[in-house]
Chain A
């Protein structure tokens, strides 16, 4: 598999960061540089691509490995992404199943505004070059997103003796090509089980990527897309498992993601 063939490159990037994290964790509590360390792996199977009125059936598997270091309200991390071709031999579906890989630097900040609201910012910066932004599902991106989140501090009620918590958010995502997406979602969390329903819509961009005109070189980076996703998650201590289904409404991919995340909080953050 391409993913495993390229793991040497991944190892070169991630191992020094892991080493630094372990070095930090071994220090006495007061000398720690970090509050938490998160390792996240997600696997996405892309089985459909809706472009305007036409639907293609590419076969793509996307792997994401993210390492995030947190201190206070800020995070810094690396995200490595590999997209590999599945079971397609030729034809147009083969064209839409182009393998790629990319590495991004990530950063985030969380402002607590009140007992009910917070503002979160998150950005990605593509570090690798040579990507074809005219191809669908190019593997790297540079973007910035800001979300206003409302939440229940105490829970909204009880279900089988345990409180359930509601939350909702609205925000925007702007990428390096000037595409602006609006995003909104609502979720419920109860006893480790979370469910989130999210909708997104791009306000500008290439509406018909099959006829992009003078924007052929960046048709998919500026794709005017819209869709709905439903996600389910389960938290068990430091481990979180998630499942996410994305359904395109305008342009975009029909995909299913499985995520596994491990987060370690160092003593000083408790």
Chain B
């Protein structure tokens, strides 16, 4: 019985810790900003837009919540049965396939872990698919 009490108490502490941990910023951008490299500047931040600037590249990157024509990378809510809804990040077709902006360059905005989370353009967003 002592063993079960210890397991339950340990689990309670673990779960309580996860809920008590401080969340520094609110809104959709709090996790994305944790992935930014130190030399990247946030130029503009609203509830649904984040504009980033890299001084070395002299380049800007636009992230948005929801699919928008001006966004380079946008966030969508994915609902899959058996798990809670969660945000996914998708590259815009014109951005992903732009030879003038190779992945190596915009990869300098984020740490590698976030680059692995970015998904390729949706089929309907890829100019090679023939869809409008």
Contact = CB atoms under 8 A, between A and B. Distances in A.
Interface of A: 35-36, 38, 70, 75, 110, 112, 115, 118, 149, 151-158, 161-168, 186-189, 195, 197, 228, 230, 235, 240, 245, 247, 261, 263, 265
Contacts of A186: 15, 18-19
B7 to A, nearest CB: 6
A157 B19 contact: no
B19 A230 contact: no
Contacts of A36: 81
B82 interface: yes
- Sort chain B's interface into a size bin: 20 to 34
A-B pairs, top 9 by smallest CB distance, nearest first, are A161-B113, A151-B84, A188-B18, A186-B15, A154-B31, A197-B11, A247-B4, A154-B87, A155-B31
A152 B32 CA distance: 14
A195 B21 contact: no
A167 B84 contact: yes
Given A112-B85, A195-B14, A228-B8, A157 B77 contact: no
Contacts of A164: 18
Given A153-B85, A166-B19, A265-B80, 10 more contacts: A35-B81, A38-B82, A112-B85, A153-B28, A155-B86, A156-B18, A188-B18, A195-B15, A230-B7, A263-B81
A166 B28 CA distance: 15
A48 to B, nearest CB: 11
B30 interface: yes
B81 to A, nearest CB: 5
Nearest to B3: A247
Contacts of B23: 156-157
A110 B85 CA distance: 11
11 contacts: A112-B85, A151-B85, A155-B31, A157-B23, A163-B31, A188-B15, A195-B11, A195-B14, A235-B83, A240-B82, A261-B82
A196 B4 CA distance: 15
Contact of A154 (B21, B28, B81, B82): B28
Nearest to B122: A270
